[in-house]
Amino acid sequence: ISYATGAYWLYVAFTVPHPDTRAFYWIVQDVFGLCMCVLFLDTIKLNAVKVGAVLLIVAFFYDIFFVFVTPLLTKHGESIMVNVATSGGPPKADPSWCEKYPTTEECKGGDPLPMLFAVPRIGDYQGGMSMLGLGDIVLPGLLLSFASRFDEAKRLMGLVSGGSGRASGSGGCSPSPKTSGPSCLLCCCLPPGYFGPVMIAYAIGLFMANAAVYLMQMGQPALLYLVPCCLGTMTWMAWRAGEMKDLWESPRVIRAADAL
C-alpha cells in the first residue's frame, strides 16, 4: 500500500497541473514531511544549548536575508526564498482574470516544492496554500527535543536517586511563593520543566508568523519569529533557575542518564 501510494503521488505530481489543489496530493506530501521531521529529530540530537543557539541564530539571519534582502538585489525585486519554495512564485496576473482564464501563462505560477508543509487556505475565495518549510520545524525542533531530553533525564535521575522522579524546580516552572501572576498560572497549567513552555513559545511564534503574512500580504521568514520565542524562552528559564551554565555547555544530568 505504501509503495502504491507513493507511486500514485508521483504520478499526480508530474502529470496534473497544480497538484497541490488536490487533497490527496497535499495530505500525502504533509505525511512525507512529517516522517522526515521525525526521522531527522530522532537521528540528530543537541548536546548543549550553545550548539542550538549558534545554529538557530545563523538560520535566523539566513532566513531574513533571503526573504527581505534578496528582493533589493534582484532585477525584478523578487524574493529568492519565495521563488524557490513556489518554483517560480505565485501567478502574476490579476486574481479575477485568473478566475476566468486559469490556463493562461500568467496565471499558472509555480507549484510548491514537496519539501514543505502545505495546507489550503480555508475560506479564501482566491485559493492558495499556506506553506511552512521543514527547516522551520526541525531547527526549533532540535531545541524542543533537547528540552524534552533534559526534563526526562532529570526525572530519571530523580527516580534512580530514590526520589519521586518529578523535575521540581526545573527551568523555574514550578509553583513557589516567589511566583505570582501569569508566571504562576503558567506553572500551574504545565508540568515542571522546559519542554511545555518552549512548545507554547513555538506555537506563539508560529501564530505571529501567520499573522504577519496576512497583515503584510507577503511571505515571511518563520524563523524571524520562532527563534526569539523558542530560544528566548529557553534561555530566560535557564537563567531564572540558575541552570544556564550547565545547559550552555553540556548538562551533566543528560550525560549521567545516557551512561545508565
Q: Within 13 Å and on the Cβ side, how many CA atoms surround 224?
A: 16
* C-alpha–C-alpha distance, residues 141 and 41, integer Å: 7
Catalytic residue positions? Answer: 63, 136
Taking CA 145 as the corner, what is the angle to CA 38 and CA 27, rounded to the nearest 5 degrees? 30
The residue type found at 55 is L
Q: Cell for 235?
A: 534561555
How many whole angstroms separate alpha carbon 60 and alpha carbon 135? 11
Cα 225 from Cα 12, distance rounded (Å): 34
d(CA 20, CA 260): 47
The answer to whether residues 55 and 139 touch, using CB atoms and an 8 Å cutoff, is yes
